[in-house]
Amino acid sequence: MARVLDGVAIAAEIKAEVGAEVSALKAQGIVPGLAVVLVGHVAASEIYVRSKVKACAELGIASWMLTPAESVTTEEMLAIVAELNARDEVDGILIQLPLPKHVDTRRLLEAVSPEKDVDGFHPVNVGRLQSGQEGLRPCTPAGIIEILRRSGIGVEGKNAVVLGRSDIVGKPVAMLLLNASATVTVCHSKTVDLARHTREAEILVAAIGRPGFVKAEMVRPGATLIDVGINRVTDAAEVARFFPGDAARAEQFAKKGSTLVGDIHPLAFSKAVAYTPVPGGVGALTIAMLMKNTVQAAQARRGVEVGAGVAVGGV
């Protein structure tokens, strides 16, 4: 029977380590601080940002939430970022995406100081990742590596296939796996004979945003499946197709009118040696890794030696 890789439990473990690091910093008179910029009123983003602020409070990290109007201009946003770059008590800056279409997202992300870029999106941090240097890593890819490492799943020498080539997940997780000495193949919408590649994967990371895309026949027996997708299903027929005979899912759907499914079809998990569930898998790690990055940024900016509980950067 496949082992379930419990992202919630691993996230709790990481948060406990981060909390210990925060206490150690406070003993030296340092309070790590995170500033989150949320533009306009996007319900999903508001919920996510509140979760981040709540996590900061639980761990003793100072936080600030800036909420410019949706009409804000790129220049006004650049001024906000410049002000946060200059504030010494702010160790991490996070610009919640997506931004309104009239705002130049790339200019803003590149305006954030690399030392405060807790999302790991700045070209300097991307370059540090590519060259194997220590630095701030994108939260979700870093969380995937933590799941593998803390679950005792070896990466070195393994065939790893990444479905998806986004700058946020696909590319950075491929680079992290490569840095950990895996043999990595990146597949995408233009890949010919995709299943041929996925059936070679000892570690398969699915991050394409298509519900249940990876079918059982696309999976190598005994593979480790890492499902990054979080897709909301609102059609009863689709629920029955993804979760045949699953009374708990059917009950959940009847109550809420929706349920979540990843990019990997749930029936494919029977072929795996281990897999991350949806929900409760990779998604649970993202905020924990953001907290970890914030503390790492505070330590690096102030020249404080990193404690044993929170390792810097790579793998």
Q: What domain range is 147 assigned to?
A: 139-284
Length of the chain measured in residues = 315
Tell me if residue 96 is catalytic: yes
167 and 45 fall within a common domain: no
182: in domain:
yes
118: in domain:
yes
Integer Cα distance of 261 and 233 in angstroms: 7
Task: Give me the number of domains the chain comprises.
Answer: 2
> Residue 105: is it exposed, middle or buried by C-beta count within 10 angstroms (0-12/13-18/19+)?
middle
201: in domain:
yes
Does pTM top 0.75 for this prediction? yes
264 and 177 fall within a common domain: yes
Integer Cα distance of 313 and 135 in angstroms: 5
154 and 99 fall within a common domain: no
Among 52, 116, 158, 292, the active-site one is 52
70 and 207 fall within a common domain: no
pLDDT at 122: 96
* Each residue's pLDDT expressed in tens, for the chain with a length of 315 residues: 899 999 999 999 999 999 999 999 999 999 999 999 999 888 888 888 999 999 999 999 999 999 999 999 999 999 999 999 999 999 999 999 999 999 999 999 999 999 999 999 999 999 999 999 999 999 999 999 999 999 999 999 999 999 999 999 999 999 999 999 999 999 999 999 999 999 999 999 999 999 999 999 999 999 999 999 999 999 999 999 999 999 999 999 999 999 999 999 999 999 999 999 999 999 999 999 999 999 999 999 999 876 533 333 444
pLDDT at 314: 43
Tell me if residue 52 is catalytic: yes
- Can you read off the two tokens belonging to residue 148? 């593998």
What's 95's domain CATH number?
A: 3.40.50.10860
From residue 8, alpha-carbon distances to 14, 27, 31, 187, 284 in Å are 10, 29, 26, 28, 5
Amino acid identity of residue 178, one-letter, is L
Integer Cα distance of 174 and 185 in angstroms: 8
290: in domain:
no
Quick one: the chain helix, strand, coil %, rounded to 5?
Answer: 45, 15, 40
32 and 110 fall within a common domain: yes
Integer Cα distance of 160 and 177 in angstroms: 8
175 and 65 fall within a common domain: no
100 and 181 fall within a common domain: no
104 and 146 fall within a common domain: no
What's 201's domain CATH number?
A: 3.40.50.720
Amino acid identity of residue 15, one-letter, is K
Domain boundary among the residues 93, 122, 151 is at 122
Integer Cα distance of 99 and 259 in angstroms: 27
- Can you read off the two tokens belonging to residue 207? 């991050």
The residues, ordered by sequence, that sit 6+ positions from 48 with a Cβ below 8 Å of its Cβ are 96
164: in domain:
yes
157 and 275 fall within a common domain: yes
Among 6, 119, 227, 263, the active-site one is 119
10: in domain:
no
Residue with token string 């406070």: 26
pLDDT at 187: 98
Greatest Cα pair distance in the chain: 58
- Can you read off the two tokens belonging to residue 75? 């220049």
Domain boundary among the residues 122, 153, 175 is at 122
Give, as one character, the DSSP assignment of residue 313.
S
Tell me if residue 119 is catalytic: yes
pLDDT at 305: 75
- Can you read off the two tokens belonging to residue 210? 């298509």
158 and 280 fall within a common domain: yes
- Under a CB-based contact definition with an 8 Å cutoff, are residues 124 and 109 in contact? no
SS3 105: helix
183: in domain:
yes
172 and 112 fall within a common domain: no
66 and 190 fall within a common domain: no
Among 6, 91, 96, 158, the active-site one is 96
73: in domain:
yes
3-state secondary structure string across 235-279:
CHHHHHHHCCCCHHHHHHHHHHCCEEECCECHHHHHHCCEECCCC
